[in-house]
Structure 1
Amino acid sequence: MPPASFEFATATRVLFGPGRLAEVPDLVRALGGQKVLLVTGTHPARAEPVRAALERLGITSTSFRVAGEPTVDTAREGTAVAVEARCDAVVALGGGSALDAGKAIAALAANGGDPLDYLEVIGRGQALTKPPLPFVAIPTTAGTGSEVTRNAVLGSKEAGVKASLRSPLMLPRVALVDPDLLEHAPADVLAAGGLDALSQLIEPFVSIRAQPLTDALAREGMQRSARSLRRAVLHGPGPTEREDLAIASLFGGLCLANSGLGAVHGFAAPLGGMLGAAHGALCAALLGATLEVNLDALRARAPEHPALPRFRELAVLLTGQPEARAEDGIAWVKDLVQALRIRGLRSMGLGDADVAGLVSKARAASSMKGNPLPLTDAELTTLVERSM
């Protein structure tokens, strides 16, 4: 093994624990916020206690609702609202869509220009030059880990893909994770989010950029997900399950931000643009086949690769069986996906005629760079076909 060499970056502050939502107004005031853009998800009423608490401290707020997964147009509209209201801080409360939109808006409001000036893959990829407006991220789901990542994923209807607006400057000033916010989450949201979080723990663990800090977080997060996700979805999330899922999601965000991802997310980005399906559900549909194809490729072409023994460790962590083989871990993942009633890609709208174009788009996705080894077009096609 080569000598360890790595970087680890995250939000300036991470606050975790039940009931910590009440701390938001004081946090905003400490950041100098007086006029806040309050970015919400599909249900803005969930942010009403935060809005009222901000008002009690004399902090005004303007609301911006993100109804679906954010697009380039969403970022433009939200930025215009923030600039017109002269907002000096952004608070996002919701799922990954609200958090990504909030991150993008905070960056664009401070830097000016259009999202396409800065977007990867489909934009000009320019670097941000100014720090974003102070940004507080409050997840109400347990999946994306967006509260501790340095990018915002935006869809483009014209290009039919999703791409990232990315910069170290975009790491939130505060990530506040309150597990109590998961108490009333619908089962399908817990399932898709939880499997997204699990993939964001697994992919960095076998990534070519794996490193000791994220390895430790991934191991802990996978064990918490393995013991609580199924029970939370099928029987409801009690306090233990809420804590486990929130930590798994948070740790997944920390892992992906510092060690990259792989083919699951390499495909999920273009699929989201093509199908309009929820990101977490796409990742869940892809996870089992991606592990299978990667394992076969490593055994066939890179038997000395340091990622290969990690597939057996994955199996031990997920199944809790010390003698588990790599195949047992993959079988465990597939069984979980089936138990949580995740649909295949075909039922989400992917047709046989779409596969070749999807493979081409996935190969160009930034997430694919972290995969344990480059997959051939034949392997990528097999991966998609097994996920249908």
Structure 2
Amino acid sequence: MAGFDLAVPRQVLFGPGRAGELAGLVPTMGRRVLLVAGRDAARHRSLLGDTVPVAVVSVPGEPTVDLVRAATGEARDAGVDVVVAIGGGSVLDTGKAVAALLGNGTDPEDHLEVVGRGVPVERPALPCVAVPTTAGTGAEVTANAVLTSPEHGLKASIRSRHLLPAVALVDPLLTLSCPPQVTASSGLDALTQCLEPYVSPQANPATDAVAAAGLRRGARALRTAYEDGADPAAREDMALCSLFGGIALANAKLGAVHGLAGVVGGLVRAPHGAVCAALLAPVAEANVRALRERDPAGPALRRYAEVARLLTGRDDAGVEDGAAWLRATVAALDVPPLGAVGLRPEHHAEVAAKAARSSSMRGNPVPLPEDDLVAVLRAAS
């Protein structure tokens, strides 16, 4: 077995009710708090107890370069020394990016891949506490922050182990209020982020363990969480699926689903998880076809069969059963096709060309030429 590295936050706190520990935790890390939250920044303000933030940033949608730049300036002017991000993946990515920029005295475009200068993040970030309120991106345990650059029509990442939060505090009870469509799109994103690292050529025994556990838990809980959001067991399973997917992707990379989704997300306004969900089965089918042609005896096909067994719960499941399960689940959760969220056929060639150059493609189990990527987009539309 080859050696491997494993990057995780300094501390992960998981369990129902653990959000109640936030008020006592934050003062041990800093006194001048930046609170990063969603549209209604007051919604989770009570979790901080008596701590009054010196600055508050509201993240109304997926974070842009300009939003993060403005938030960093506001936090710097307020003398912030700890960042608390409470919300979905967009909120957590904003908090992580701001904490890193404050620690380095830099601008988002200094570090962004592809659309920026790509300069490494050299110094530690300010302490950041990440508290997810959705089960999807696993951003509480990932070493990157995804920002949209409207100027370039792309999503790109600031990527560094310095972006790992100091503390990931995961309380499944905070996800009970997620509406069904958010549960569906974020939950399918979590499932994708377990599946892609599991079939990645950069997988290792540690990522295999968490990815497999995430696939198993997500497969059994996602429909229940969608149909009955008050089911605590389903919410706990989905929170673990998201957490495990974040750990897996941070250490074994993603694949063509996210390579395409990052480009699509820069062109159309649609939830990231919904875009991933629409692409999930077509990408799996394209990968399997390519593997059967080019590497039929390789490990990736065996891994897709293992994924099928984890998803279906059947020991006799084959690769096609896994793809069928994905299609049936996406349909049951009413995820719209890409065409319904604004991606047009005339976009397909541009998306494929840009996606082929994305960093996520390095984790795909087999290279997919642009023609194959166009076919995937057509099938997902």
TM-score between the two structures when normalised by the length of structure 2: 0.98
Which residue identity is paired with 2:36?
V
Q: Does 1:322 align with 2:311?
A: no
Which residue identity is paired with 2:201?
I
Aligned with residue 39 of structure 1, among 27, 36, 40: 36
| 1:23 aligned residue | 21
Cα 1:300–1:248 change in 2 (3 A) is same
- The answer (yes or no) to whether the contact 2:137–2:246 under 8 Å persists in 1 is yes
| 1:68 aligned residue | 61
Instruction: Write the distance in 2 (CA, Å) between the matches of 1:130 and 1:265.
Output: 28
Aligned with residue 125 of structure 2, among 128, 132, 136: 132
State the 1:5 CA deviation: 2.1
| 2:354 aligned residue | 361
Instruction: Write the distance in 2 (CA, Å) between the matches of 1:18 and 1:355.
Output: 43
Q: Does 1:278 align with 2:271?
A: yes
Instruction: Write the distance in 2 (CA, Å) between the matches of 1:286 and 1:21.
Output: 34
Q: Within 5 A, what are the aligned runs for 1:52-67?
A: 53-55=49-51, 60-67=53-60
- The answer (yes or no) to whether the contact 2:33–2:81 under 8 Å persists in 1 is yes
- The answer (yes or no) to whether the contact 1:89–1:135 under 8 Å persists in 2 is yes
- The answer (yes or no) to whether the contact 1:231–1:237 under 8 Å persists in 2 is no
Q: Does 1:48 align with 2:45?
A: yes
Q: Which stretch shifts more, 315-324 or 108-117? A: 108-117
State the 1:128 CA deviation: 1.4
**SS of corresponding position for 2:60:** coil
Q: Does 1:230 align with 2:223?
A: yes
**SS of corresponding position for 1:164:** strand
- The answer (yes or no) to whether the contact 1:182–1:237 under 8 Å persists in 2 is no
- Write the deviation string for residues 296-322 of structure 1: whole angstroms up to 9, x where unpaired: 100011112211101111111111111
Instruction: Write the distance in 1 (CA, Å) between the matches of 2:203 and 2:376.
Output: 23
State the 1:196 CA deviation: 0.1
- The answer (yes or no) to whether the contact 1:54–1:60 under 8 Å persists in 2 is no
Q: Does 1:256 align with 2:214?
A: no
Q: Does 1:212 align with 2:243?
A: no
Q: Does 1:82 align with 2:82?
A: no
Which residue identity is paired with 1:353?
E
Instruction: Write the distance in 1 (CA, Å) between the matches of 2:53 and 2:271.
Output: 33
State the 1:200 CA deviation: 0.2
Q: Does 1:187 align with 2:185?
A: no
| 2:304 aligned residue | 311
Instruction: Write the distance in 2 (CA, Å) between the matches of 1:252 and 1:50.
Output: 26
- The answer (yes or no) to whether the contact 1:110–1:130 under 8 Å persists in 2 is yes
For structure 1, the 5+ residue unaligned runs are none
Q: Does 1:98 align with 2:95?
A: no
Q: Does 1:386 align with 2:371?
A: no
Aligned with residue 111 of structure 2, among 91, 115, 118: 118
State the 1:54 CA deviation: 4.0
Instruction: Write the distance in 2 (CA, Å) between the matches of 1:304 and 1:7.
Output: 27
**SS of corresponding position for 1:45:** coil
Q: CA RMSD in A?
A: 1.0
**SS of corresponding position for 1:208:** coil
- Write the deviation string for residues 237-267 of structure 1: whole angstroms up to 9, x where unpaired: 4110111000000000000000000000000
Which residue identity is paired with 1:34?
R
Cα 1:224–1:43 change in 2 (3 A) is same
Instruction: Write the distance in 1 (CA, Å) between the matches of 2:40 and 2:172.
Output: 18
State the 1:60 CA deviation: 4.1
- Write the deviation string for residues 152-196 of structure 1: whole angstroms up to 9, x where unpaired: 000000000000011111110000000000111100010000000
Aligned with residue 349 of structure 1, among 318, 334, 342: 342
- Write the deviation string for residues 122-177 of structure 1: whole angstroms up to 9, x where unpaired: 11110112211100000000000000001000000000000001111111000000
State the 1:45 CA deviation: 2.5
Instruction: Write the distance in 2 (CA, Å) between the matches of 1:121 and 1:54.
Output: 42
Structure 1 runs (4+) deviating above 3 angstroms are none
| 1:12 aligned residue | 10
| 1:199 aligned residue | 192
- Write the deviation string for residues 51-75 of structure 1: whole angstroms up to 9, x where unpaired: 4x042xxx54421100110010011
Instruction: Write the distance in 2 (CA, Å) between the matches of 1:311 and 1:117.
Output: 38
**SS of corresponding position for 1:92:** strand
Which residue identity is paired with 1:19?
G
State the 1:351 CA deviation: 0.8
**SS of corresponding position for 2:298:** coil
Aligned with residue 163 of structure 2, among 158, 162, 170: 170
Instruction: Write the distance in 2 (CA, Å) between the matches of 1:153 and 1:215.
Output: 24
For structure 2, the 5+ residue unaligned runs are none
Instruction: Write the distance in 2 (CA, Å) between the matches of 1:136 and 1:379.
Output: 40
**SS of corresponding position for 2:283:** helix
Which residue identity is paired with 1:187?
P
- The answer (yes or no) to whether the contact 1:69–1:155 under 8 Å persists in 2 is yes
State the 1:235 CA deviation: 2.5
Instruction: Write the distance in 1 (CA, Å) between the matches of 2:214 and 2:328.
Output: 19
